[in-house]
Structure 1
Amino acid sequence: MKFLQRSFISSIAAFVCGCSSMPKSVEQWRTGLQYQKVGGETMAYRCYGDKTKPVVVLLHGLPTSSYLYRRIAPKIAEQGFYVITPDFIGFGASTKPVDDAAYNMDLQAKRLSQLLLNLNIQHYSVVAHDMGGLVGFELLISHSDQIQSFFVLNTTAYVDGFTPPPEMSMIAGSMGGVMTSMMSNPVTGELLTAKFIKDNMGHPERLTKEAKENYWWPMHEGATKPMRATAKNFSSIMARYPVYQAALTAYRGPSRILWGAKDKVLNFEKLSAQFSRDLKLTSAKVQRIDDAGHFLQEDYPDLVASNILYLLGDI
């Protein structure tokens, strides 16, 4: 009984002080990151391959980071491409401003454009997942002439077929502060973050301990801020969908769709049909993975990489 009491007291102390040391796996991942100042913030990113080769930019979503593509980017680079995986501001190792306005999608796109400009990159292909799709659509609006190809991975520009996850509604509400505190603190944070990722995978058993640590640690550092800001701003984001649809319709470059069909939030049949219509895709350009979920990069990284390479072969 005394042991249990001591353990409980230690857990409460950790919750109150919020202290925790960075996991070794996170330290190791971050040794490979680079940093650039963009729009007054510091953006972390990782590069793979020869910078003289065609450029591919892989965009993550909520609540992940460039780490999502750790097993995909190297395979693309090996086939003769220069791959860039950024951490959007508020995520991964990038800075995490307090102001909700810092997380507007157009601002995220402007920062990404500034990063690419700083790296002297004029033309590139985009692979967009989840919230990264919204940033990618903003790029289609402002820099379509620079985008050589566009790859869609479980994201949306349409209301029909999109069911916002209940966790996001809760985070936006009166209990949002409590929920984000629970996700960021050392006692419950890693467990809750891992549960969210695993609940949206087709094969949750494939999420490693190292992956759980790398997805949670940014939460501990403040990545819950953009999560809550995005949740509170859902209505404004969806109001911009028609503008995104117009940008997709106007786009003339090569494009493909790959979808984890067990996605609980984004319906494959409805959304792939709408994307296919606006991007003018034949069925051959659309592939579903029946037993993959929303985080198909964790379920089937090799298959995601090979499909991206198919698209790049169309440039």
Structure 2
Amino acid sequence: MTISYKYQQVGKVNVFYREAGPKNAPVLLLLHGFPSSSHMFRDLIPQLAGTYRVIAPDLPGFGYTQAPPRGEFDYSFDNLAAVVDEFTQALSLNKYALYVFDYGAPTGYRLAMAHPERVTAIISQNGNAYLDGFSDQWTAWEEYWRNPSAETREACRVTLSADVIENWQYRTGADSTRLGPDGYMLDIALMSRPGAEEIQLDLILDYRSNLDRYPEFQAYFRKYQPPLLAVWGRHDPAFIPAGAEAYKRDLPAAHVHLLDTGHFALETHCSEIAQMIRSFLEQHL
């Protein structure tokens, strides 16, 4: 299966994306999380592209997407969603299933609320939409949200370090014999680019806006009842399994699967997740 690597200009943002699969097949839009990029889907795309048109963009501030510097572009979740919205329109994606992970969840759910008629199904892989899903490891971020200052901003900078990316985000709860270095090494390299940390600290501050919108996301679920698969690494140090189970409150028919791995579940359980996605989408698309 051939994967194409392309750019799509969206206003001031030149969006890098990966695409594979038949042009006339149902679309699956993959939205990555922090601190990764569409590279996290490198193994999943070939497993789904035989049946689906799979498209995975890099969000502004991540990966290879070319976006303006701070001051010329407001790095907020509203703007991430707006760019993805315009990106889907530029590609004439009128119907699509969403795969959302981490930051991709609040980005994708904004998109779903704006265009509920376009969303055919949702796969949430450690993508939170409920307060139930938060672990007790958010102290520095929560203090920054409550009291934005130079001091609290600086306290969050360790979140962006190579050690935290590799050992906390990738290795926690994962089988080290199944975890290759490619994902976290690329994330670390991209995070070290000039200006990257300040963009990420802006997004960390704006993450509080997602919690404010959780009731809206949940109201969208209740009203539109999109088919939803929650597939979760049960040892995620940030988003705990209760966040996956919580979807059933608003979507009683939701499928929930907990895997014996961590936050970046695709790094260790890609084949298992791909099979779950194929089975789920065959039922609903």
Identify which range, 108-117 or 233-242, moves more after superposition.
233-242
Kept in 2, the 8 Å contact 1:59–1:127? The answer is yes
Q: Secondary structure at the match of 1:102?
A: coil
- RMSD, aligned CA: 2.6
Q: Where in structure 2 are there 5+ consecutive unaligned residues?
A: 145-149
The one of 256, 276, 280 equivalent to 1:307 is: 276
Which digits, 9 at most, give the CA deviation of each residue in 1:204-242, with x for residues without a partner?
A: 443323333322222122443343122222333211111
> Is the Cα contact below 8 Å between 1:256 and 1:281 reproduced in 2?
no
Output the CA distance in 1 between the equivalents of 2:159 and 2:77. Answer: 26
| Aligned residue in 1 for 2:189 | 217
Deviation per residue, 1:149-180 (Å, 9 max, x gap): 11111121121231364486299562645874
- Tell me the equivalent position of 1:287: 257
Question: Residue in 2 aligned with 1:89?
Answer: 60
Give the 3-state SS of the residue equivalent to 1:155 in structure 2: coil
Cα displacement (A) at 1:181: 8.7
Structure 1 residues 173-184: aligned runs within 5 Å: 174=151, 176-177=153-154, 180=157, 183=160
| TM-score when normalising by structure 1 | 0.78
Asked if 1:232 is matched to 2:200, the reply is no
**91-100 vs 47-56, greater mean Cα deviation:** 91-100
**Deviation digits for residues 233-263 of structure 1 (CA, Å, limit 9, x no counterpart):** 2333211111111112122332211111111
Distance 2:139 2:270 in 1: 26
Q: TM-score, normalised by structure 2?
A: 0.86
Structure 1 unmatched ranges of 5 or more: 1-30, 184-188
**Rounded Cα–Cα distance in structure 2 between residues aligned with 1:179 and 1:109:** 24
**Which secondary structure does the structure 1 equivalent of 2:229 belong to?**
strand
Bigger helix share: 1
Aligned equivalents of 2:48 and 2:114: distance in 1? 26
Cα deviation code 1:265-300 (max 9, x no counterpart): 2221x3233211212225xx22111x2111111120
Residue 25 of structure 1 is matched in structure 2 by none
How many residue pairs were aligned?
275
Counterpart of 2:5?
Answer: 33
Take 1:264 and 1:300, find their aligned partners in 2: how far apart are those partners? 17
Tell me the secondary structure at the aligned position of residue 224 of structure 1: helix
Show the counterpart of 1:121: 93
* Structure 2 letter corresponding to 1:297: L
Name the residue aligned to 2:147. none
Supply the distance in 1 between the matched residues of 2:224 and 2:278 (Cα, whole angstroms): 20
SS in 2 for 1:33: strand
- Residue identity over aligned pairs, in percent, reads 26
User: 1:122: how far off?
Assistant: 0.9
Q: Which residue is equivalent to 2:170? A: 198
Q: Find the residue that maps to 2:134 and give its secondary structure.
A: coil
Question: What does residue range 149-168 of structure 1 map to in structure 2 within 5 Å?
Answer: 149-163=121-135, 165-166=137-138
